[in-house]
Copies of this chain bind each other. A is one copy, B any other.
Amino acid sequence: MMIVMTPGASTEQIDAVRERLATTGVHVVVMPGELTTAIGAIGDPQGVAELGLEGLPGVDRVVPISRPYKLASSELSHHAPSVFDIAGRTVGGGTTFTLIAGPCTVETRTQTLSVAQAVKEAGASMLRGGAFKPRTSPFAFSGLGVEGLQILAEAREATGLPVVTELLNGVHADAVAEYADVVQIGARNMQNYALLEVAGKLGKPVLLKRGLSSTLDELLMAADYILKEGNERVVLCERGIRTFETATRFTLDLGAVPWLKLHTHLPVIVDPSHAAGDRRLVEPMSRAAAAVGADGIIVEVHEDPEAALCDGPQALYASSFAEYARDVAAHAGLLGKTLA
């Protein structure tokens, strides 16, 4: 940590900071500048942060030197990108592209099996589908629950596609773990630390979506919550952040992908559907996700989007999904990747 004093800080104030730092055992370097004195504190950033030095007289700011995440850091923990297997598919590592597709919500057995078959034939790597849905309004459809999980499992039987589904609440953890191949943590729960710990302990790969107002540092700190449970198979997902722009539902932050590639070893995929909120934007944004270097995409597909119970306007038509998959795969192919 570096403690920056105000220009007018007195020697006594500087000494007071130095003394408090000394209590934590860190190495202290005082750097008197022309205008401002800065004090470097080397070692134990957590300990220094907890001193709360920002409140001391003469202190202007406390600036962290180290980044705040550890296990997710490519610099501290892994020096090569993580590559792992999910039910026979290779995720991460730069040679595969994981195309996860399926309905927003499992509505019926027929609908789910039919979409699963369509995305399988188009080359998708995994099947997505929601059994428990978070809804902004308490009066909207909130999913089939365990029955939805069973339908997803049946679709896996039929197609061989591993199943990705959201864990919304710790009380469903066992059921989700029983049926799912990948446990998704939704954007609204990215900082629900209790749920992250539960997910970390299930022994299943976890797909962690970025919170809609979470910084990338916070995303990696949230990944640390899962990784510290000993679960190494964590996949990050950029899905759009909330900004002043409302032309699209959220602002898809594709620059986050190469930034994350610099700072974490974890695979990174993109969800273009929720950010777009409009299917006409989903295909271009998916091509861009492949071109920017994402390890995959998670996208919503429906046989009859106009009849969908949830987020129909952003769902791709199952009938044109094969063409979509081909176009996206072509961009991934330029980076040397094939569909997982």
Contacts and interface: CB of A to CB of B under 8 A. Distances in A.
A310 B181 CA distance: 38
Contacts of A122: none
A193 B8 CA distance: 30
Nearest to A171: B170
A254 B270 CA distance: 13
**Identical chains in the assembly:** 4
A330 to B, nearest CB: 5
Interface of A: 2, 4, 6-8, 20, 29, 31-36, 38, 40, 42-43, 46, 50-56, 60, 63, 65-68, 70, 73, 75-76, 79, 134-141, 168-171, 188-189, 191-194, 211-213, 215-218, 221, 224-225, 228, 240-248, 251-259, 261-262, 275-281, 284-285, 287-293, 305-306, 308-309, 311-315, 327, 330-331, 334
Given A2-B2, A76-B7, A193-B134, A52 B308 contact: yes
A139 B277 CA distance: 31
Nearest to A243: B243
A52 B261 CA distance: 22
B313 A52 contact: yes
Nearest to A141: B50
Nearest to A240: B255
Contacts of A139: 46, 70, 224
B252 A134 contact: no
Given A33-B66, A212-B213, A251-B241, A55 B279 contact: yes
Given A54-B278, A251-B253, 5 more contacts: A29-B40, A51-B312, A217-B247, A245-B256, A255-B276
B243 A138 contact: no
A246 B243 contact: no
Contacts of A292: 284-285, 287-288, 291
B38 A2 contact: yes
Contacts of A314: 55
A265 to B, nearest CB: 13
Contacts of A288: 254, 288-289, 291-292
Nearest to A257: B284
Contacts of A252: 253-255
Contacts of A140: 46, 50
Contacts of A46: 137, 139-140
A244 B244 contact: yes
A338 to B, nearest CB: 16
A281 B262 CA distance: 9
Contact of A244 (B138, B213, B275, B313): B213
A221 B54 CA distance: 24
B20 A306 contact: yes
Nearest to A34: B43
A278 to B, nearest CB: 7
